Structure 1
Amino acid sequence: MKDPTKLKQKFWQAVEATPEDRREELLQLVQTFAVNAKQQPAHPLPTNLKEMRKLGIKLYPEFKQETGSTDSEKCLRQNWGEWLKAYNPKLDRDYMSLADIRKLDPQLLGRLKKQYKTDELHKFLPSLPLVNKQIANNMTDDERREIGRLNALYYTHV
């Protein structure tokens, strides 16, 4: 990964080299790109029922009773879509997995497994190894080196 300070310097050199009547247009384009760039969810993933209630997330039986729908994918989209890349394309990766749904809403997971085959389910709700792979793919070389260094340090002192 390139040094961010050097990239900033190159960017400002390019802006200065741009004719003055086009600079504003270039800066607006960059700002638009930054707004549309990949981002993280607005809220961290809830870890318990109390946090789910604060965010207005309903368990599958409540969703089913309220809407009369047994569509588990619709429940997933409505309640958990903020953390899943399939429903929120601006995310840089998925921020939850099947393991999280198993812990937070086991009845929803049971319904999803009845409604979809595993391959179909993983298209919009990834397994934990798939989420870990996404995280690893988004890491910079410096982050990978740091993890390797910390692992070596840990295992030499354990």
Structure 2
Amino acid sequence: MWKIGVVTSSNSVYRGERENDCFLRLEMLLKSNFDVDVTHHRVSPDNIEMLKENMIELVDRERVDLLITIGGTGLSPEDVTPEATELVIDRHVPGLAEEMRRSAMQNSRKALLTRAAVGTRGNALVINLPGSLPAMEWCFLAIADQISSALAIIQGKNENVNI
């Protein structure tokens, strides 16, 4: 099965001032949708270099198949996860990011304000999720049905996929 890594980007979680409730919920969603566990988890402050280092470590050294980031996707000056992701990914997967926003908009128009990105690094899929609990869940569930197919294609296990 897949190796999954998660990086939580949050100054307050990093400093221990707030519980990492999004990570706990994401673990439950991964288990219920794919019957997999998170194999690696890092908590990072909202810092481009630290986020980049954590993402590269999990994909290149720990060889995770799926890397999910939580938080840092909004418009605040501290929100730098998409910028860090740009430094890490090889290719964009815009359809997944667009679908997350489109689907989340059914619940809140503020979904337009997320800058979450999706891309690949080598044979891994990298997904940014928002750091608010309902938005994280809406975005994950919007694309959960495509994650298995995306990973199979990225890893060369299913080359005959028709769109």
Q: Same fold (TM over 0.5)?
A: no
Q: Bigger radius of gyration, 1 or 2?
A: 1
Normalising by structure 2, we get a TM-score of 0.29
Normalising by structure 1, we get a TM-score of 0.30
Which structure shows the bigger proportion of residues in strand conformation?
A: 2
Which structure shows the bigger proportion of residues in helix conformation?
A: 1
